Amino acid sequence: MKKKTAVVTGAAGFLGSHLSDRLLAEGFQVIGIDSLLTGNVRNIEHLAGNSDFHFIKHDVTNYIYLPGEVDRVFHLASPASPIDYLQLPIQTLKVGSLGTHNALGLAKAKGARFLIASTSECYGDPLVHPQKEDYWGNVNPIGPRGVYDEAKRFAEAMTMAYHRFHGVNTKIVRIFNTYGPRMRLEDGRVVPAFIGQALQGQPLTVFGDGSQTRSFCYVSDLVDGIFRLSQSDYHEPVNIGNPTEMTVLDFAKAILEFTGSKSEIDFRPLPEDDPKVRKPDIALAKRLLDWEPKVAFADGIASTVAYFRQFLSIAS
């Protein structure tokens, strides 16, 4: 039987590379597209020589031309960490708007299912806790994070328009903080930042007083949620994330304990518009997809620490 073809934009990124692995394991041929602006071929080098995986270096804010049949389009391409989108504000807006338009256009032309990687940032600094899909959010459109938040909100609106107006079979996943191997050590997000600092004996940079909360989902759980959603018939946004909430300060202490590091904690100013709380309500994903996270925090952190240990010893 002929294999189905899935296109993954952002395939050389953290999530895109793990999703590509899962799709290959599910029997898809995968066409991975990435501009390599924040992605890295290191994340997909293990797929070199796999005849079911094809990589195309392309910026999806430009027209995407692909010959042949395409059954699924997963649009994950975007700078995704706060320092990335602060340094790449225009590219972030472009990939969320023009990139989403092009990826939707590809799905429409090929009659493919489409899934957009949206974000818990659609809820901004939330006034409702935990966040349910029907909460419209509290976003500052002109603040520094607005370039990401509004790009993703626009991407959701564009996706629903292609669904309603063109009948494209679309899905929207709102991804909450996710961690695991292949995150970039220098991407500024709290997981690689604290693990990298702890392993190198540097102070852990806790922003603000560390009382803000996040809920961390291990990457294999996240990818499982995305895959299940892509198989469903549901078109409105679905939260995928781990509802186990902790403060950033407690997270720093947990990393010190896991790594056995003697690093100090260094309190730094809180970035503008940094959300004070974040925790997904996953009742919809449970009901619709029979999905909930399976990987315990201790196990997920252990494999992530092992990855960064190896990465640092290779790098040094």
Active site positions, annotated: 148
Say if strands 29-34 and 53-57 run parallel, antiparallel, or are unpaired: parallel
What is the biggest distance separating any 2 CA atoms in the chain, rounded to whole angstroms?
58
Instruction: Candidates 104-112, 204-212, 220-228, 288-296: pick the segment binding ligand UDP (CB under 6 A).
Output: 204-212
The residue to which tokens 């679309």 are assigned:
170
Select the residue interacting with ligand UDP from 94, 152, 163, 214 (CB under 6 A): 214
Binding mask 171-190 for ligand UDP (x = CB under 6 A): ------x----------xxx
Can the peptide bond before residue 293 be classed as cis, meaning omega within 30 degrees of 0?
no
Q: Which is nearer to ligand UDP, 101 or 182 (CB)?
A: 182
**Sheet harboring 53-57: ordered strands across?**
53-57, 29-34, 5-9, 72-75, 113-119, 170-175, 237-240
User: In the complex, what is the shortest distance from the CB of residue 241 to ligand UDP, in angstroms, rounded to a whole number?
Assistant: 11
CB atoms under 10 Å from CB of 223, counted, come to 21
Q: Does the footprint of ligand UDP cover residue 212 (CB under 6 A)?
A: yes
We find the least distance from the C-beta atom of residue 18 to ligand UDP, in angstroms, to be 17
Nearer of residues 44 and 88 to ligand UDP, judged by Cβ: 88
Secondary structure (H, E, C), 68-96: CCCCEEEECCCCCCHHHHHHCHHHHHHHH
Token pair for 270 = 């809180």
Give the footprint of ligand UDP on residues 68-127 (CB under 6 A). Answer: 81-82
Q: Min. distance of Cβ 123 from ligand UDP in angstroms?
A: 11
Where along the sequence are the contacts to ligand UDP (CB under 6 A)? 81-82, 177, 188-190, 193, 205-207, 212, 214, 248, 271, 274
